[in-house]
Structure 1
Amino acid sequence: MVDKGRRDFLKIAVAGVAGLAIGGVSGFFSGSSAYQRRILELESEIEKLKSQTQAVLEKELRVWNWSYYINDALLDIFSEQTGIPRDRIIYEEFEDPNYVLTKLEAGGSGYDVVILPDYCVDIARKKALLAELDKKMIPNVKFIDEKFRNPPYDPEWRFSIVYMWGSTGFAWRSEVEEGVTTLEQIFNPDHEFLQKYKKKISMLEEAMEVICFAKAYLGKDVNDWSDSTLQEVKEVLLAQRPYLAGYMGTEKYYPGLKIGTIYVAQAYNGDIVRLRGEFESVSFAVPEEGGTIWTDNLCIPKDAPHKNSAHAFINFLLDPAVSAVNSEFIGYATPVKASWQFIEEMLEDPVIYPPEEIQKKMWLIPSVSDEIRRKITKLMLEVKAG
């Protein structure tokens, strides 16, 4: 979920969106005129809400996001809608969210909106690095799907709103005819799967992802951090270790799946959506025991210099038409439920939107204390040392 390389494969050219007015965004879809009318109805409704909460916008905005994680043409549209000069909308990219946290902690970053993965929101919230969002200035928040409200990393839903979400599961090449359907294949040494694909299997570098999947295999709650459960997890991972090619991030498992040095990889779904465009013989699924739902979140730093513009930008990104265009462009799932009727093809893709029965078994990355983080680090060091 937090791998810094997972966005490296989202380089798609913008086609035909630049210069559109927000009312024309719906025309970017190939859907029926009825769909477009519905968008206009929704936008009419939110215009009424916006008129009640109009704020004077500063003529500047600074945004910090993951690489290749927005349709850049939408920045032009936002400028046209708000009157903020385009050259005063500064949009910059990062690769490592931990660097963002370091800058926020130092203070004076100058950014108005930052996009943070769930676990970073939890850290930033506890360190008082984020401003509380004024929901009255974000009327489009009404369109956020219920399951993304009050998440464990922001339990009172005061400091963040989900921007996009994805899932962690397993990818495999066509040579793996049986596919990956259960964690028994991944963790049980007595299962023929591990022996059959020995040294062709990779797990993620992100320790939390590995540990949560091991807990699911053991039938444990992902929020169980007792010493006894961690010992069981350690034993499972030590038993699995001889069969692995290694613990890998996107920059390694992505080309590995493509060229065949890796046959099975614990992976982020967005990477596999991209990989399918280059290499058709790859599949992805969340196993029957479940998998991670991860989120990236819109936040405003506590010392943001242009908070009104920041709120306006967040509200803009949550517009059903805008969110649909953005989601379709970058290939990730949107939490804006009113957008879904405009991206029906994406909704039918189980790689992007896991089936509902599977989603019910999925989990968000747990919120943990610094003490637990230290235990996690120690556990994985011991496992990798073998």
Structure 2
Amino acid sequence: MPPDPPAHRTGLSRRGLLKGGGAVAFAGVSLAALKLPFFATDGASQDPATCRATDLSASQKELIVSNWPAYIDPRKNPDSTFQQFQQQTGITVHYTDDVNDNSEFYAKVRNQLGSCQPVDRDMMVLTDWMAARMIGLGWIQPFDKKNVPNLQANLIDPLRNKQWDKDLDFHAPWQSGLTGIAYNASKTDAVGSFEELLTRSDLSGRVTLLSEMRDTMGFMLKVTGADPREFTDDEWGVAIDKLKESVQSGQIRAFTGNEYTQDLAAGNILACEAWSGDVIQLQFDNPDIKFVTPEEGLSLWSDNMLIPNLATHQANAEKWINYYYEPEVAAKLAAWVNYICPVKGAQQEMEKIDPSLVDNPLIFPDDETLSVTFDFMPLDDQQQIEYEGDWADVTGG
């Protein structure tokens, strides 16, 4: 008899915990007024080789981790991955869920990291674009690769060869996800493309898009014939104008974090841009909620483990990374958080943990699904400022 499946996580997903916590409606406050950090900090770059601390891991069995809320199996459970790591290694982990938004977290640590001062953390978990930014600024320590053999051996192929860290020197995906389309099959016909979200008259006023710029604009670039992985300012301009047209026509109801899930389940919206982990949670209670691979493809993203400059327990952090890249551990974590597992072999281990999840394509997508995924081009300082300004004008004005 297979073991009892674990209780599934409820409540807000990691991707929904955005700054402000509410929908960005068109009559609301402009995002420009939030004064988001745009990384234009003179003298902020560092050399990680010269901005490092003595590693105290051998004498101090401790580790300080900053992660997103609701992004690990219950830590108080003696059989949890967290407790098992502590028992196996003798390392006491001080774990905080204080990463609620990439830009907000950046603002919290930028002055210290930009001036080679400690942030009192051994590990931070940040999304691709922010990980790329911090690595580019020299704020992240390279791994001692002999300490993370499981990362090198077991990371799934679609998450390798990132433009900003091709050789996995600085980052290790914690969990990954897909951005695509969801619709309520009890309320509307199937929706097969992002173009349909923007133009179908029967969906008018009952569509939401995501308030994270790279998620939505990656699809807008696709719709207008550009490549999100490499595009020009002119191509950006065409894509943002297309979005503006859809907003002004009344097609788009709002830009949201994951509160779209409530409206989608209730039928207040018919279709939306959606994160895969949210849809899994909805489907437990409502099988009419469907996740679709749009004709334009799927955005594939990761939240990544990073070791900041002046971390004092780097070897302990590397033990944590190596542990979570064991397939059995990775499967146990994925069974709880319900996002894409980045570890080869975890799908086979899931048979022992929760057989109902083994063939879930939103946790273990097949090669065909992964073949149509894309990510978003890293932006320099000037692009970041200009594009965020354009985005705020459309979504907040």
Q: Same fold (TM over 0.5)?
A: yes
| Counterparts in 2 of 1:80 and 1:381: CA distance versus 1, 3 Å | closer
Distance in 1 of aligned mates of 2:394 and 2:256: 15
Deviations 1:230-285 (A, max 9, x none): 2211231122112111111113x121112222111111111111122233321111
Q: In the TM superposition, what are the counterparts of 1:6-85 in structure 2 within 5 Å?
A: 56=58, 58-71=60-73, 72=75, 73-84=80-91
Q: CA deviation at 1:197?
A: 1.4
CA, structure 1 residues 147+355, in 2 after alignment: closer, same or farther (shift >3 Å)?
Answer: closer
Residue 231 of structure 1 pairs with residue 233 of structure 2: no
Partner residue, 2:299: 292
- Relative distance call for 1:331 and 1:207 in structure 2 (3 A) is same
Give how far 1:203 is off.
Answer: 0.6
Shift of 1:316: 0.8
Residue 215 (structure 2) pairs with residue 209 (structure 1): yes
Separation in 2, partners of 1:347, 1:382: 43
The residue that corresponds to 1:155 in the other structure is 166
Change (3 A) 1:324 1:370: same
Q: Could you tell me which residue of structure 2 aligns to residue 104 of structure 1? A: 109
Aligned to 1:24: none
In structure 2, what is the equivalent of residue 125 of structure 1? 135
In 2, the alpha carbon distance for the partners of 1:292 and 1:186 equals 16
Quick one: which of 250, 255, 263 aligns to 1:256? 263
Q: Structure 1 pair 102/280, CA: closer, same or farther in 2 (3 Å)?
A: same
Instruction: Give the distance between the partners of 1:379 and 1:121, measured in 2 at CA.
Output: 23
In 1: Cα distance, 2:203 partner to 2:156 partner: 39
**1:324–1:3 CA distance, 2 compared to 1 (3 A):** closer
Q: Is 2:247 the partner of 1:245?
A: no
Q: Report the Cα distance in structure 1 between the residues aligned to 2:59 and 2:164, rounded to whole angstroms.
A: 29
Deviates more, 1:123-132 or 1:374-383: 374-383
SS in 2 for 1:337: coil
Asked if the contact 1:285/1:351 (under 8 Å) is kept, the reply is no
Q: Once the two structures are superposed, what CA deviation does each residue of 1:58-78 show, in whole Å capped at 9, x if it has no partner?
A: 311111111111122212111
- Give per-residue Cα distances to partners, 1:345-385, cap 9 Å, x unaligned: 43522333444323212112321112111222222233336
Structure 1: gaps spanning 5 or more residues: 7-54
Asked if the contact 2:334–2:340 (Cα under 8 Å) also holds between the matched residues in 1, the reply is: yes
Change (3 A) 1:311 1:354: closer
1:182 maps to amino acid: S
Counterpart of 1:365 in structure 2 is 376
Residue identity opposite 2:70 in structure 1: Y
8 Å contact from structure 1 (residues 61, 310) kept in 2:
yes
| Alignment root-mean-square deviation, CA | 2.3
TM (normalized to structure 2)?
0.77
Structure 2, unmatched stretches of 5+, are 1-12, 19-56
Q: Report if aligned partners of 1:104, 1:301 keep a CA contact under 8 Å in 2.
A: no
TM-superposition CA deviations, 1:37-73 (whole Å, max 9, x none): xxxxxxxxxxxxxxxxxx8363111111111111222
Note the alpha carbon deviations across 1:120-166, whole angstroms, 9 max, x for none: 10111112211111110112121112222231232342110111111
Whether contact under 8 Å (1:97, 1:116) holds in the other structure is: yes
* 8 Å Cα contact 1:62-1:110 kept in structure 2: yes
Q: Distance in 2 between matches of 1:277 and 1:316?
A: 29
Structure 2 residue corresponding to 1:134, chosen from 144, 157, 161: 144
- Once the two structures are TM-superposed, the CA of residue 219 in structure 1 deviates from its matched residue by 2.2
Match of 2:310 in 1: 303
Secondary structure of the corresponding residue to residue 275 of structure 1: helix
The alpha carbon displacement at 1:305 in A equals 1.4
Matched, 1:332 2:339: yes
Identity %: 25
In the TM superposition, residue 176 of structure 1 has moved relative to its aligned partner by: 4.4
Is the 1:290–1:359 Cα contact (8 Å) retained in structure 2?
no
> In 2 relative to 1, CA 248–258 (structure 1 residues): closer, same or farther, beyond 3 Å?
same
Counterpart in the other structure of 2:225: 219
Matched-pair contact (CA < 8 Å) for 1:63–1:90: yes
Q: Cα distance 1:266–1:57, how it changes in 2: closer, same or farther (>3 A)?
A: farther
Decide whether the 8 Å contact of 1:170 with 1:266 is kept in 2.
yes
